[in-house]
Amino acid sequence: MAAGIKNAVLLKGDDMSANKAFQDYYPENVAYCYGCGSLNKHGHQIKTFWDGDETLTRYMPEPYHTAIPGYVYGGMLASLVDCHSTGTAAAAMYRAEGREMDSLPPIRFVTASLHVDYLKPTPMGVMLELRGRVVEIRGRKVMVETNLTANGILTVKGLVAAVLMPENFGEGR
Amino acid sequence: MAAGIKNAVLLKGDDMSANKAFQDYYPENVAYCYGCGSLNKHGHQIKTFWDGDETLTRYMPEPYHTAIPGYVYGGMLASLVDCHSTGTAAAAMYRAEGREMDSLPPIRFVTASLHVDYLKPTPMGVMLELRGRVVEIRGRKVMVETNLTANGILTVKGLVAAVLMPENFGEGR
């Protein structure tokens, strides 16, 4: 809960109570994700919002999310890119279908592939900003490009191929 | 510490006391990495070893490293691929230079890019196995291909471009 509040994004003119994050619409069975599930008390609980045609997540890493002291761990940054991008894919699909995010059936995405370019070290102790942009929606697949900045400097670029979560996801293992 | 012991790999015929992981050779300033630093008590503390020409990490995710219940979070898997691969790059460079891993100066790598393909959901409660293979060493850059299996089934394929950590890494931010 603390993480949720800490990382909530207040957009200009928004009423916080009306400003539900994408992740707050996730059905319970996908709300335990370590990256973005609001019910995973050990997890990052990221919160993503529309900001015009872009999506926005702000996140402050914990002091122990270290690469070398003073800089944020790349696997953590990849996790932020991942969940920010699948959240973006879901929100974009609702928009493309002209649906509200609380309408049924729920739309959820899983990651088919994740690509991250580390352009510069990402400094610790700074509120990170991830901005996502839908590159393409084709059938069940959405390509999302996500830029991560720290102090306004682009440090990480991500590209995620997200696919609609199959109804039988995980069966038959 | 518990994680280190829990995830240690005992290879056939090895004497545990002589069987230091790649990460146990990392100098202190890079031993705080959340993914692989032995001094980061909050982190994953992965341990990687040579197994012939391949590298091997075994890791048991925590129960809260969830994607949807029953399956492992993709960002966590990306983190394992990341640190397994940079560790592999360092060990391969020592081998290529005919050097012992405790010789000076230390060789450490950072991730320039990380690509992960999620082929199948990765089940929870299973010891995961990552096997790395050096695709190419060119100058300061090492390409590492890493396959992650659960119960012997390939679920994740990773490709990492690792580059020698610059001496001034992180300066001038």
Strands A153-164 and A109-118: antiparallel
* CA dist., res. A104 & res. A13, Å (int): 28
Contact state of A74 with B65 under an 8 Å Cβ cutoff: no
Residue A1's pLDDT is 35
* CA dist., res. A108 & res. B56, Å (int): 34
Residues of A in contact with B69 (CB under 8 A): 29, 32
CB neighbour class for B35 (10 Å; exposed up to 12, middle 13-18, buried from 19): buried
Residue B167's pLDDT is 76
What the block records as the tokens of B15 is 């004497």
Confidence of residue A170 (pLDDT cuts 50, 70, 90): low
Which of these CATH numbers, 3.60.150.10, 3.10.129.10, 3.40.50.880, 3.90.180.10, describes A49-164?
3.10.129.10
* CA dist., res. A156 & res. A126, Å (int): 14
- Tell me the count of A-B CB pairs closer than 8 A: 142
Contact A115, A159 (CB under 8 A): yes
Contact state of A114 with B74 under an 8 Å Cβ cutoff: yes
Angle at A92 between CA A27 and CA A86, to 5 degrees: 55
Collapse the DSSP code of A77 into the 3-class scheme (helix H, G, I; strand E, B; otherwise coil) and give the result.
helix
What the block records as the tokens of A137 is 């929606």
Supply the ipTM of this predicted assembly. Answer: 0.89
Question: What would the pLDDT profile of A49-96 be if each residue is shown by its tens digit?
Answer: 999 999 999 999 999 999 999 999 999 999 999 999 999 999 999 999
The pLDDT profile of chain B, 173 residues, written as one tens digit per residue, is: 334 444 544 444 444 445 899 999 988 888 999 999 999 999 999 999 999 999 999 999 999 999 999 999 999 999 999 999 999 999 999 999 999 999 999 999 999 999 999 999 999 999 999 999 999 999 999 999 999 999 999 999 999 999 998 877 766 44
* CA dist., res. A164 & res. A162, Å (int): 7
pTM: 0.89
Domain ranges of chain B: 49-164
What the block records as the tokens of B171 is 């300066």
What the block records as the tokens of B80 is 């394992």
Contact state of A110 with B78 under an 8 Å Cβ cutoff: no
Q: Which of B82, B126, B163 to mutate to test the interface with A (most CBs of A within 10 A)?
A: B82
Residues of B in contact with A66 (CB under 8 A): 32-34, 37, 40, 43
Which alpha helices (H) appear in chain B, and where do they start and end? 2-6, 74-96
Contact state of A66 with B118 under an 8 Å Cβ cutoff: no
Other CB atoms within a 10 A radius of the CB of residue A63 amount to: 10
DSSP string, A51-104: ETTEEEEEE---TT-BSSTTBB-HHHHHHHHHHHHHHHHHHHHHHHTT--TTSS
Strands B141-150 and B153-164: antiparallel
